[in-house]
Amino acid sequence: MELIKDAIIPAKEALQKAPQITGVKTGIEGLDELFFTIEDNKLKKLNGIPKYSVCNITGVNDTGKSIMAEQFSVYQAYLNKKVCFITLETPANFVVASMKLRAKAMGLDEKIVDNIIFIDATSHYQLRDDIIAFLNTLAYAIKEFKIEFTIIDSITGLFENKEMMARVIVRKVYNFLKKWYQTSLLISQKRSSHELLSSEAAGGYAIGHIVDGTIVLSKEIIDTPYKAKIYKKPLGEIVRLFRIDGCRMCGHDTRVRFFEITKTGLIKILKPIGGDDDFGD
C-alpha cells in the first residue's frame, strides 16, 4: 500500500498558511454588508464577499446571474485588479460590449476593460470538452496576466452533455481555484423553475456541495391575489428574490430579500421580505 506522507499536515502548520478572512467589495449595492465575521465576540460586517472564496450564483433564466458577474468584474477592473472572465455561453466580443454598458451605468471609465482578460470557450470547444486543457489554459492566463479574480459563465457549460460527471468536473475546478488563491464566481443554471430558491441546479447539488457558498436568484410573476397580498405587489408584476444559501468561509445573512434589475441594467439587493433591514452592527 502506497503511503503519501505529504498529505499529513499538522494543524499548526496549516494555520501558518491560512489566509486572513477579509472582504472584497463587489460593486453590487446592498450585497457587501450581508457577510460578517466575529471580532471581540461581536458580529462585524465583512464589507464584501470573503476573499479567496469560490461562490456559486445560480437561478433560472433571466434572473440576473450574468449581470451580477459582469458588474462584479467591471468593479474589480475599476479597482485596477486583473480579472479573468471565462465565457462558455456568449462570444467574448458580445460580453465585452455588455460590460461597457455596465461600466457606463456604474459611472466608471470604459477603459477598465484593459484589466479584463477573456478565455473564450464558445469558439474553442476543446476547452469545454477537455477539463485538463481548460485548467492549463486558465493557469497560463493567471501567471501571464497576474489574475486575482476568475469568473466562469457558466460552469454548466463544462458538463451540460455529461451531467453524471458534474461533481468530478466541479471538484477539479474548485481545487484549482483554491490552489491559485482566486476569488471566484461560478455561474450555474437551473434546469427548471422547481423550487426556485433552492441551490439545486444543472448537475443536481454538485456545485452547491463543493463550493464555498451559493447565491440563489429567482423571479416570480404575481399571477394570483394571494401572491399580490404576500409580496404587496399588483397583479402582473415580477418579483425578484435573492438568498445566500450558505457560506463556509464566514457568517452571512440568511434572509430572503427582494432585489431589482434597474433600467440601466444594474443589480441592487433590497430589504428582506420580512421587513426592516436591521442585520448586523
How remote is the C-alpha of 196 from its chain's centroid? Answer: 17
**Is the pLDDT assigned to residue 201 strictly greater than 70?**
no
Q: Is residue 260 part of a domain?
A: no
In a domain, 123, yes or no: yes
| Angle at which helices 92-106 and 65-78 cross, to 10° | 70
Contact 119, 90 (CB under 8 A): no
**181 pLDDT band (50/70/90 cuts)?**
very high
Strand partners, 149: 83, 183
Q: pLDDT: is 275 or 111 the higher one?
A: 111
CA distances from 42 to 49, 221, 250, 252 (A): 19, 39, 13, 14
If you average pLDDT over every residue of the chain, what do you get? 89
Residues 95-151: tens digit of each pLDDT? 999 999 999 999 998 778 889 999 999 989 899 999 999 999 999 999 999 999 999
Q: Residue 149's domain spans which residues?
A: 22-215
Give mean pLDDT, residues 46-52: 95
DSSP annotation of 2 reads: -
Q: How many whole angstroms separate alpha carbon 276 and alpha carbon 75? A: 28
Domain annotation covers residue 188: yes
Res 191: pLDDT: 67
Judge whether 242 lies within some domain. no
Cα 205 to Cα 98, 115, 188, 200, 208: the distances in Å are 30, 33, 11, 5, 5
Residue 237 placed within a domain: no
Q: What is the CATH number of the domain that holds 73?
A: 3.40.50.300
Report how far residue 137's alpha carbon sits from residue 126's, in angstroms, rounded to the nearest whole number.
Answer: 11
176 part of a folded domain: yes
> How many CA within 13 A on the CB side of residue 74?
26
pLDDT band, residue 36 (cuts 50/70/90):
very high
pLDDT confidence of 195, banded at 50, 70, 90? low
Please say whether the beta carbons of 84 and 151 come within 8 A.
Answer: yes
Q: How confident is the model at residue 206 (pLDDT cuts 50, 70, 90)?
A: confident
Q: Is the pLDDT of residue 69 over 80?
A: yes
Query: Distance (Å, rounded) from C-alpha 27 to C-alpha 198?
Result: 25
Predicted pLDDT of residue 281: 46
By DSSP bridging, strand 213-221 and strand 238-247 are antiparallel
CB-CB contact of 131 with 169 (8 Å):
yes
Q: Between β-strands 54-59 and 213-221, what pairing exists: parallel, antiparallel or unpaired?
A: parallel
pTM: 0.91
How far is residue 248's CA from residue 29's CA, in Å, rounded to a whole number? 23
As given in the structure block, the three cell numbers for residue 31 are: 450585497
Question: Is residue 142 domain-resident?
Answer: yes
pLDDT, residue 42, reads: 86
The pLDDT value given to residue 280? 47
Q: Is 241 part of a structural domain of the chain?
A: no
Q: How many residues in the chain? A: 281
Q: Which residue has the higher pLDDT, 114 or 203?
A: 114
Q: How many domains does the chain have?
A: 1
